[in-house]
Every structure is written in C-alpha cells, then in structure tokens.
Amino acid sequence: MKIAIIRKKYVFHGGSEGFSQELIAQLAGQGNAVHVFALQWEGTAVPANVTFHKVPAISFNSFLRDLSFALSAYRLLKKEPFDIIQSHDKTLFQHIYRAGDGCHIEWLQQRWKRTGLLGKISIVLNPYHWLILTLERLILKGHRFKKVLAISHLVKKNIIQHYNVQENDIEVIYNGVDLVKFRPANRERYRREIRNRYSLPDDAFVLLFVGSGFERKGVEFLVKAMELVPYPLTALIVGKGPEKKYRQSIKRQKVIFCGPQREIEKYYAASDIFAFPAIYEPFGNVHLEALASGLPVITTGLSGAAELIQDGVHGFVVPLPEDYALIAEKIQYFMDNRTAYESMGINARQRAEEFSFRKHLNETLRLYQEITDKAD
C-alpha cells in the first residue's frame, strides 16, 4: 500500500509522537510505501521505505502554525494519490482521522470545571482554542473522513456526544506497547542507575509520573495526594511543564522534576508504582508502558486507558482527580500491602501482553483493507 501519515512533529518525548514513529516504522517494515507529512522529523533516522515531506507552515505562534499546517497539508495531499491517508492531527483531508488527542471541546469543558474566573477568561479569549474547535468541527461535523479511529471508548463517546458522528463511523483501536523495551526485567538492569542519579536509596518508595502538559495530566492532584501520605515518599515527574507552579504545594514529600527523558524505560524500572491523575487523557500510552514494566497503575476515570485497568487487579481507578484523598489512600495501600503490590505488578504485566504493537498493527491494517476494499 501507499500510505500517507500526517503529524505536525516527531520528537523523542510525547506519547503521541513516539507512537506515530513506531507505527511508521512498523508499516514500512511490512513493505508498505509510507509517506510522512510533517513540519519536522527529530530524534531518529528516517526508516527505509519512508519518504519524508516537509510541510511548510508559519511557526511564529501556535495559532498560525496549526492553521498554516492544516492548509499546506491539504494542498500537498491533493497532489498525489494514496491508498490510505491517516491524519494524527486536525487537518482537512484524510481517509482516517485518528483522534489521538481526543476531543478538544471535552478537554476545555473538563478544564472549565476546574479553573477560576481568570482561567475561564483565558479559555474564552484564546484564539488557539477557537481554531482547534473549528478544525475539529470541520472534520467531524463535515464528515471529512472515511473512518474515525478512536484510541479508547472514552474518545468514541466524546465524539458521538459532541458531534453526533454515527457510531459505525468510529473504530476503536487501542494503542500497542513495546513489550521488549518495557518489561519487569529492566529493574535489575536500570533501577540502581536511575536511583543513584537522583540520590535515592534502595528502600525508598518511588512513585512515577510521565507526561507533558502538567495541568491536563494532574500533577497538582498528585502532589496534593502525596502530602496526605504519612510515610516518606518520592515522586519522579518526567515530562515538560511549569515546575514552579507545583513546587509551592510540596511540603513534606520529595518531588523530583526530571524533565523529558529519552530512555524512559529506565525510569519505570527505578519506580514502584505509576500514578497519573489526569483531568482528561484520551488514552495515555504511559499506562501501557507502566503495566508492561510490571508497575501497578493509579489513574482516573477521565483517562481512556482506565478501560484496561481492573480496579484492585492491575492497580486502581479513582473516578475524579480532585479526590486526591482517595489517591493518597491507594498509594498508602501499596506501601502497606507488599503481597498485594507484588501480585498487582504480575497482573499488570500480563494485562499489557494483551496489547502488543503487533496486535495494534494487525487491527490497523485490517481497517486499511476495509477502506480500500470499499474504494474498489
């Protein structure tokens, strides 16, 4: 097949970007001719069978960047025939719209509930939000797709609720995870290396958070929950965000802001549990990475990956992020119950093994075949 993949940027940090790179490599490895349309490619060499097309855009600010990218990508993709055009961003021409970022309108509604007057004014007056909402509406209300690929049933529900898209126009395909890169055996290889890097003793109980966009992904609630835990506790916060905003809430516990990291598998290996109290997360590959690494997960019902986690078996699902007292209770549970903790870690790995990248690729290729068969 001749396949076009659209994504603004490919960088080493960020779940969506990393996922896109893996998908491209796997599709090319199957012998497909893959054409990538993006502003830039960063972090890895372009694989064989992949052609990179630089999409011209005005990068002065996010509004102009996203608008010019959508228009330029439309112009370029109209010039050349493809069997499949899959967009991972809000663009105007595609066969498959992969809603990897979920629904922007749902994120704004969740944020609106949790912000004060100044935050609400900022949302209303920010032209970038209006642009993304307009593009989202053009795609979904305007039916600029042959299929919407939702990465969770949460995203599918959001799309139907906000844009009245027909249920049979939306295909749910969960993301896959690299089961070799992320595995419990990494603890023996990397645990001491990372703990030495941050001066953490072997017996320290370490909680891991991975994600950029600290507000949406709930760092505030995580820090508040930690402060309610009566035992000494350390959190490694890996990702990009405004650290200063959250430092003022740290009193007794130890929180280390590590920034974005290339070798993220080492941080899972150094940690005991994974916590991700998101306000809105369409899926969150980090959940699968943690499960594959043998870490029990604490997340919220506002994350699509919560659909994969059986409460009390693979970790815990807290309904809302602002219930940080309950998050603290779940953290303390793991610290108090070593047997249950170890059992959930084993269950976590077994659950992740159901979501290999090979399975994801096969389901994606099945969807491609379905669309090309209809075109014939």
> Domains of the chain: which residue ranges?
2-176+356-375, 186-352
Position 24 scores a pLDDT of 85
HEC readout, the chain = CEEEEECCEECCCCHHHHHHHHHHHHHHHCCCEEEEEECEECCCCCCCCEEEEECCCCCCCHHHHHHHHHHHHHHHHCCCCCCEEEECCCCCCCCEEEECCCCHHHHHHHHHHCCCHHHHHHHHHCHHHHHHHHHHHHHHCCCCCCEEEECCHHHHHHHHHHHCCCHHHEEECCCCECCCCCCCCHHHHHHHHHHHHCCCCCCCCEEEEECCCHHHHCHHHHHHHHHHCCCCCEEEEECCCCHHHHHCCCCCCEEEECCCCCCHHHHHHHCCEEEECCCCECCCHHHHHHHHCCCCEEEECCEHHHHHCCECCCEEEECCCCCHHHHHHHHHHHHHCHHHHHHHHHHHHHHHCCCEHHHHHHHHHHHHHHHHHHHC
pLDDT band at 15 (very low <50, low <70, confident <90, very high): low
Overall average pLDDT of the 32-47 stretch: 82
Alpha-carbon span 49 to 36, nearest angstrom: 11
> Per-residue pLDDT for 45 more than 80?
no
Alpha-carbon span 21 to 45, nearest angstrom: 10
Overall average pLDDT of the 356-361 stretch: 92
Overall average pLDDT of the 265-293 stretch: 97
- What CATH number was assigned to the domain covering residues 2-176+356-375? 3.40.50.2000
Query: Which one is predicted more confidently, 346 or 59?
Result: 346
Overall average pLDDT of the 201-213 stretch: 95
Instruction: Say what percent of the chain tops pLDDT 90.
Output: 85
Query: Which one is predicted more confidently, 348 or 49?
Result: 348
Domains 2-176+356-375 and 186-352 share a fold: yes
Position 83 scores a pLDDT of 95
pLDDT band at 21 (very low <50, low <70, confident <90, very high): confident
Position 113 scores a pLDDT of 94
pLDDT band at 247 (very low <50, low <70, confident <90, very high): confident
pLDDT band at 339 (very low <50, low <70, confident <90, very high): very high
> Per-residue pLDDT for 16 more than 80?
no
Q: In one letter, which amino acid is 23? A: L
Q: List, for residues 296-338, the tens digit of each pLDDT value.
A: 999 999 999 999 999 999 999 999 999 999 999 999 999 999 9
pLDDT band at 43 (very low <50, low <70, confident <90, very high): low
Position 60 scores a pLDDT of 86
Q: List, for residues 165-188, the tens digit of each pLDDT value.
A: 999 999 999 999 999 999 999 999
Overall average pLDDT of the 87-92 stretch: 94
Fold of 186-352: Rossmann fold (3.40.50)
Position 46 scores a pLDDT of 73
Instruction: Say what percent of the chain tops pLDDT 70.
Output: 96
pLDDT band at 234 (very low <50, low <70, confident <90, very high): very high
Overall average pLDDT of the 114-122 stretch: 94
Place of tokens 């290999």: 356
> Per-residue pLDDT for 13 more than 50?
no
Mean pLDDT of the chain: 93
